[in-house]
């Protein structure tokens, strides 16, 4: 029996084997083509997805850029709003500064020179405080050094008196003494401290700008200051509006950390910053007890920071405190 051979490539097999071989090879070829197709499909799919990712990334970047632009616009708007707010605040602060300067024309030290508001000055003042503390005097029937004219102007219901005795009519040096009245009507001297008054001394007819402190008996009803309430018994107004104008000498920067309004030409029961002057502007005003800066004032009475704290924590509206003030000769007259 003759055998037929089918030549495929270099192989020669019988028909069945050849067919089987072709089938195997076809299967292998198909498998190879499928692998190639799958690989190509994967490449195509990868390229397509990559393109989609690239396109998506581009759109994402566009959106991110849009968000950045929008945020920038919002930031610019916020910055403009902050700038407007700062401008408005500056105008308000400027107006407040001008108003305060007018209000405080009777206080502070507009043309003083040198230092005094620093820590060294505070230590020196505290040392002087200790040196001016004499033995307490009790059982006094009247305030020492105060004549009958001013003694008679101390209200009957007053249980606390701050006596300010100036060294002389034209002197800025003074001593402040605190007296309390017992139930039997006698007075007790509780404290004595160094102080300053108007740089030009004292006057019975105070007027705006004379740099003299007014002589007389005045009630004490209201307090305040730049610093928080230290425990005052008097109504206390805590406000940055007490801050002295920046063009005042540096040593006056802390003058109004604490203040007690002396009720000369002012409305009792209002903040010390109230500019109302019932007797008119020409009579001056804003006469305060406040922190000392080392020399004379424009009309106020100044003591150390520690003394201001003591006065604020001691003076009680229920005891109707008053200040009796003047140079030595005026007080005794």
CB atoms within 10 A of CB 177: 22
**CA–CA dist 251, 246 (Å, integer):** 11
pLDDT in tens, 299-322: 999 999 999 999 999 999 999 999
CB atoms within 10 A of CB 57: 10
Contact status, residue 155 vs residue 322, Cβ threshold 8 Å = yes
The pairing of beta strand 5-8 with beta strand 213-214: unpaired
Give me the chain's average pLDDT, please. 77
Buried/exposed code over 214-237 (b: 16+ C-beta within 10 A; e: otherwise): bbbbbbbbbbbbbbeebebbbebb
The confidence band for 283, taking pLDDT boundaries of 50, 70 and 90, is very high
The confidence band for 12, taking pLDDT boundaries of 50, 70 and 90, is very low
pLDDT in tens, 96-120: 454 455 455 556 544 444 344 456 6
CB atoms within 10 A of CB 115: 12
Alpha helices, DSSP H, located in the chain: 15-103, 119-131, 148-151, 305-314, 328-332
**CA–CA dist 307, 162 (Å, integer):** 12
**CA–CA dist 260, 264 (Å, integer):** 12
């Amino acid at each position: 029996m003759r055998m037929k051979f089918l030549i495929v490539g270099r192989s020669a097999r019988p028909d069945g084997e050849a067919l089987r071989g072709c089938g195997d090879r076809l299967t292998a070829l198909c498998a190879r083509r499928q692998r190639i197709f799958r690989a190509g499909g994967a490449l195509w799919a990868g390229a397509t997805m990559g393109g989609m990712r690239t396109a998506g990334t581009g759109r994402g970047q566009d959106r991110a850029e849009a968000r950045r632009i929008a945020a920038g616009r919002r930031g610019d708007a916020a910055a403009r709003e902050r700038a407007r707010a700062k401008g408005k605040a500056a105008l308000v602060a400027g107006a407040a500064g001008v108003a305060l300067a007018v209000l405080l024309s009777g206080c502070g030290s507009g043309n003083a020179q040198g230092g005094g508001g620093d820590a060294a000055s505070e230590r020196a003042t505290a040392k002087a405080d200790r040196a001016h503390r004499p033995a307490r005097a009790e059982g006094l029937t009247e305030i020492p050094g105060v004549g009958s004219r001013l003694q008679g102007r101390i209200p009957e219901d007053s249980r606390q008196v701050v006596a300010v005795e100036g060294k002389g009519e034209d002197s800025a040096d003074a001593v402040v003494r605190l007296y309390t009245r017992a139930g039997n009507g006698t007075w007790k001297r509780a404290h004595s401290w160094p102080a300053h008054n108007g740089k030009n001394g004292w006057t019975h007819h105070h007027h705006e700008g004379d740099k003299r402190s007014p002589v007389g008996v005045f009630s004490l009803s209201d307090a305040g200051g730049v610093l928080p309430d230290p425990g005052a018994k008097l109504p206390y107004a805590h406000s940055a509006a007490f801050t002295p104008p920046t063009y005042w000498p540096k040593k006056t920067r802390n003058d109004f950390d604490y203040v007690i309004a002396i009720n000369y030409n002012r409305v009792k029961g209002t903040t010390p910053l109230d500019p109302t002057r019932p007797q008119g502007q020409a009579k001056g005003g804003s006469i305060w007890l406040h922190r000392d800066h080392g020399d004379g004032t424009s009309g106020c009475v100044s003591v150390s920071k520690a003394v201001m704290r003591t006065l604020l924590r001691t003076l009680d509206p229920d005891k109707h405190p008053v200040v009796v003030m003047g140079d030595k000769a005026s007080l005794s007259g």
